[in-house]
Structure 1
Amino acid sequence: MWRGFVLAAAALMTLVAGVEAAEVEVKMLNQGAEGRMVFEPNFVKINPGDTVKFVAADPSHNAETIPGMLPDGAQPFKGEFNKDISVTFDKEGVYGVKCLPHAGMGMVALVAVGASYPNLEAAKGVKQTGVAKKKFEALFKKLDETKGAAAQ
């Protein structure tokens, strides 16, 4: 009987370990595959409870939320310049992220959390300018293409 209990406990522990939250790394770069002043990758689809670590791979960058581009009740974040910041995303929705000094140059990213995006239309409605506007158009298109796909 004890043997069965021990085996069941071991199986349960294995299942729980498999449900562990993930961490995704996003680099803040002066030069990347898609040009200058970029987050790489600039689109991340994750599950609630997962963490994104924004890595200061090059100097003079930060990562922070864009007002109006996060779900209701989600906490905004603002990283320090030249420092990594890890953010755990608990609320489903889309989060717009920018590098404060380089947003106008298109240094923006989109984090899609979960399978439903209750703030999607509000996020799309946030006024963007310059290269950031074109980048977000492409990022929202990428989101549309991935709807229904599992988080990665």
Structure 2
Amino acid sequence: MMKPLFLLALLLAAPALAETHEVRMLNRGAAGAMVYEPDYLRIAPGDTVRFLPTQPGHNAASIEGMLPEGAAPFKSGINKEFELMPTQPGAYGVKCSPHVAMGMVMLIEVGDRAEVALPEALPGKAAERFRAILAARP
């Protein structure tokens, strides 16, 4: 009788282990103009990343060529709060569609540190910001 109750308690507690990470979309932040804060996250599979449009004109969208195999592309609406729950381990490149040319990008690593290849089509300022993110990640 004790075992089924113990297993039920474990199953009910499992969702509570997932974390929610908040990312603010800003016109200006500590790293300059048009940024996500933070611009880098390492999370566990099943954690949630909540994008908060704290200033107008921003969204969160996947970058073609910067998603783990099997991960679905995503794109939020402009000025809309958006939640992403990545389950595939690997690197997720995120951009603000209107401001990617100004370097508004971020990196989410799910699970262990991942190999990251920057797409050739990435605008110069976005590639520069990604190189800075990659150099600073733990």
Scaled by the length of structure 1, the TM-score of the pair is: 0.80
Q: Residues 23 and 38 of structure 2 are in contact (CA less than 8 Å); yes or no, is this contact kept in structure 1? A: yes
Unaligned runs of 5+ in 1: 147-152
Unaligned runs of 5+ in 2: none
1:97 is the counterpart of 2:94: yes
Match of 1:142 in 2: 136
Runs of 4+ in structure 1 off by over 3 angstroms are 12-19
Scaled by the length of structure 2, the TM-score of the pair is: 0.87
Q: Residues 52 and 88 of structure 1 are in contact (CA less than 8 Å); yes or no, is this contact kept in structure 2? A: yes
- 1:1-152 equivalences under 5 Å are 5=2, 9=6, 12-13=9-10, 16=13, 20-117=17-114, 120=115, 123-127=116-120, 128-143=122-137, 146=138
Q: Residues 92 and 116 of structure 1 are in contact (CA less than 8 Å); yes or no, is this contact kept in structure 2? A: no
**Identity percentage over the alignment?**
42
Q: Distance in 2 between matches of 1:141 and 1:56?
A: 27
Q: Distance in 2 between matches of 1:100 and 1:94?
A: 18
Name which one, 1 or 2, has greater alpha-carbon Rg.
1
Please state whether the residue corresponding to 2:133 is helix, strand or coil.
Answer: helix
RMSD: 2.3
Q: Which amino acid aligns with 2:119?
A: V
Q: Which amino acid aligns with 1:61?
A: H
- Measured against aligned partners, the alpha-carbon deviations of 1:31-90 in whole angstroms (never above 9, x if no partner) come to 111111100000011001111001111101000000000001001100000001000010
Deviation at 1:9, TM superposition (A): 3.1
Q: Residues 44 and 112 of structure 1 are in contact (CA less than 8 Å); yes or no, is this contact kept in structure 2? A: yes
Q: Residues 57 and 79 of structure 2 are in contact (CA less than 8 Å); yes or no, is this contact kept in structure 1? A: yes
